Structure 1
């Protein structure tokens, strides 16, 4: 049910220079989706009456993600006046005139802050009489953070920034997490008092807390259970740390749902992946994007699946696959490379050192090893011999090959597309197939083998090969005649 008295402001205007990246910080992927998408999902889960997202740097890129993930959010462009206080000031101005509830301010670079934590935070604020409430935490290392200073009785007194803190204040381990909840009337009143009269020339949201205290208003601080929940991302090292923590949570969630993960430390699962009970993931496995794995499937070791569909009881071993479908009971690998639009039918096989692309391989058909299958369809129950190449490109355009059902092709074939091989046909080893083959026919290249007796002795006299040939037993020696 919508919380009619809640508005959320998402701060997403920062430049994120410490990422040292051409990609905006908030658009860096985390568990398969942009950092800011995690925050927007949390905002959506809280079901607030209004959500306002403040953007500035790379405005259009961020606005596009917001529009896709949370289309009901109002997008506000921060003007030339810098600072979080100014961002909130503009966001508040965008709220409907008749709204008079609470305003929750969250940061777009704090992706692990979940809806349950914020719901508890909101409830705590509303149970008291505070005009503002600060979310706090107790990290292992408080260096660099503003400290929460409390009275002897334990009530919130003030926030002291690291650079302004005394030695006694630096010893405090409770820090400001940068998440705030205000009553709108009190927030509006104090936002109007903010100035840029400081060394950085910015309007700081933390100054609102000080102004509320000066005005005699009550402010409270509510700590989170675990500091990692409010960890922000400012550089790629912090992104890596957050990714590792989030992945551990995702992996554990799937384990509790009935998935066997043999080595959680080397297994990565994206947020959008879907795994059934009794799936087994072996070490070194990455389940990327919207990959779906059905019950009984075994994936890994050393396998990466991107946006794939894996059927029941399928087996995928040491394989890299993208936009591929592997149906029930099929097996893939080891060392296979499945490119987009590969479909392997039920109980089929793609074996060692096989590459496929835009290939539909029917139920029970096999491409056992050392082959390339591109732009092709293979019917049911067929076997493609080792070392077969589907020559699909003529230097200008790609062409399609159609292999029928119950076809047996010899080793080291080349199929020069476009061709069709009919149902039940055979091809001989080493055949280059340039013309279509009728159903039930045998295709071979009619080039008889020629043996040139004595060639080694005539052309390589005195070599080890010559000596071995001269000393080789004759057919009469072998038969004892």
Structure 2
């Protein structure tokens, strides 16, 4: 039979104290809603329906083209939210997963196990539960001697005996799809909140003599629902440990995993060494045997094998095998560093390509440049690429030598094997095999220093 999924993402999340819808707050680089959607994808649903409400268009953008949407104009409870999906799912044969969009730690593996349990036990409904060391505040799962769920009791309504029960409701369910929407027609708002509770359908099924079961999560952390910033930080911490553990199992060495931040879509090959205080974000990929030292900060960067990134920032750029960067370098978006390039301390590269074995050791800015192989930049070199209105390109051919403190005013081309003299301002193209000198002539005034007040003879 087919699987279907309803993701509840309509709420504002008042306790987050944010103008952003709760489900759009991020954990390890992607929104909570995306984490849930990825987990749900593991059950291969024939239809996904995401229930949206508060700032619906923002939420819709995140899953555009991946999910159907149902609009809940008034937030009248979880039961009411599920009712909004009726036009998409009513009458279909199969089972429907209902899950909140603020549960970013749930895994696809657990959801698959939940579905399998539901089908194999022929339940009309199955509740995903967890065992809590301190269940205070949670709804308790009350079972009969056959292990079937009799009811869900909220903390305020639980007897002294029921309060001792440690199995709690996570708010994730699987239902027989047809029976779900039939039962929803019989729930009401006769409760303290004046809302339609999804949990009321459990009582309806029990009264009809139908079988309701519960599947217990192996890892309590997966049950976390994020309602405030404290829970968001907890989710981030758990996710960080989970991500780092997966990389370590795959052969990555962490000197201090607790002080390393890696987002969920980062890819790292085996034998990479990561020191403390490293941050890897977005779609970053790191090749084998690369070393990332303390303070390395990479965003959407592609790093080859055997590179060494020392306390530097690389954004939206490609770094080939054997490249060394830093310390204190900044590789800005749109740059590519070919094999064995060296970018040293206090060097900035922006929107430029640099060929094999080229070197910029220190105190240099390379912007909007095409640099060939075996080029050497002396300290203090600047490519002047911007006149206040337009940006211009500098082209430097293979084996060129740029002398220290050269100012290269684009548009400009420097030919193969050419050299610029130290301290030069270069405004015209330099042909290959040429030496360009662009500085004023030095004059020495013999013995003139004797006349100056700072000279020792004047004191």
Q: Give me the TM-score of the superposition, normalised by structure 1.
A: 0.90
| Aligned residues: CA RMSD | 2.1
Among candidates 392, 400, 422, match of residue 385 of structure 2: 392
Aligned residue in 1 for 2:47? 50
Are residues 1:104 and 2:97 paired?
yes
Does 23-32 or 354-363 show the bigger shift?
23-32
- Mapped to 2, the partners of 1:456 and 1:164 lie a distance apart of 95
- Mapped to 2, the partners of 1:76 and 1:360 lie a distance apart of 47
- Mapped to 1, the partners of 2:389 and 2:398 lie a distance apart of 30
Among candidates 401, 407, 410, match of residue 417 of structure 1: 410
Are residues 1:174 and 2:171 paired?
no
SS state of the match for residue 340, structure 1? coil
Q: Could you say if the C-alpha distance between residues 5 and 421 of structure 1 is closer, same or farther in structure 2, counting changes exceeding 3 Å? A: closer
SS state of the match for residue 6, structure 2? strand
Aligned residue in 1 for 2:30? 33
Among candidates 399, 406, 424, match of residue 406 of structure 1: 399
Are residues 1:88 and 2:88 paired?
no
Post-superposition shift, 1:426? 1.0
Are residues 1:434 and 2:444 paired?
no
Aligned residue in 1 for 2:187? 194
Does 190-199 or 147-156 show the bigger shift?
147-156
User: 2:355 touches 2:374 (CA, 8 Å); kept in 1?
Assistant: yes
Q: Could you say if the C-alpha distance between residues 129 and 45 of structure 1 is closer, same or farther in structure 2, counting changes exceeding 3 Å? A: closer
- Mapped to 1, the partners of 2:424 and 2:277 lie a distance apart of 39
Among candidates 6, 22, 42, match of residue 3 of structure 2: 6
Post-superposition shift, 1:154? 5.3
For structure 1, list consecutive stretches of 5 or more residues without a partner in the other structure.
472-481
User: 2:331 touches 2:350 (CA, 8 Å); kept in 1?
Assistant: yes
Aligned residue in 1 for 2:295? 302
- Mapped to 1, the partners of 2:344 and 2:122 lie a distance apart of 68
Post-superposition shift, 1:289? 1.1
Aligned residue in 2 for 1:247? 240
- Mapped to 2, the partners of 1:198 and 1:454 lie a distance apart of 100
Task: Map Cα deviations across residues 373-432 of structure 1 (whole Å, 9 max, x no partner).
Answer: 111111110101101111111122111111111111111111111111111111111111
Post-superposition shift, 1:238? 1.5
Please say which structure displays the higher CA radius of gyration: 1
Are residues 1:24 and 2:21 paired?
yes
SS state of the match for residue 370, structure 1? strand
- Mapped to 1, the partners of 2:149 and 2:439 lie a distance apart of 93
Are residues 1:371 and 2:364 paired?
yes
SS state of the match for residue 84, structure 2? helix
SS state of the match for residue 86, structure 2? helix
Q: Give me the TM-score of the superposition, normalised by structure 2.
A: 0.94
Are residues 1:258 and 2:251 paired?
yes
Post-superposition shift, 1:455? 5.3
Aligned residue in 1 for 2:374? 381
SS state of the match for residue 353, structure 1? strand
Q: How does 1:153-168 map to 2 (within 5 A)?
A: 155-168=148-161
Aligned residue in 2 for 1:353? 346
- Mapped to 2, the partners of 1:379 and 1:186 lie a distance apart of 69
SS state of the match for residue 328, structure 1? coil
User: 2:90 touches 2:181 (CA, 8 Å); kept in 1?
Assistant: no
Post-superposition shift, 1:240? 1.8
For structure 2, list consecutive stretches of 5 or more residues without a partner in the other structure.
none
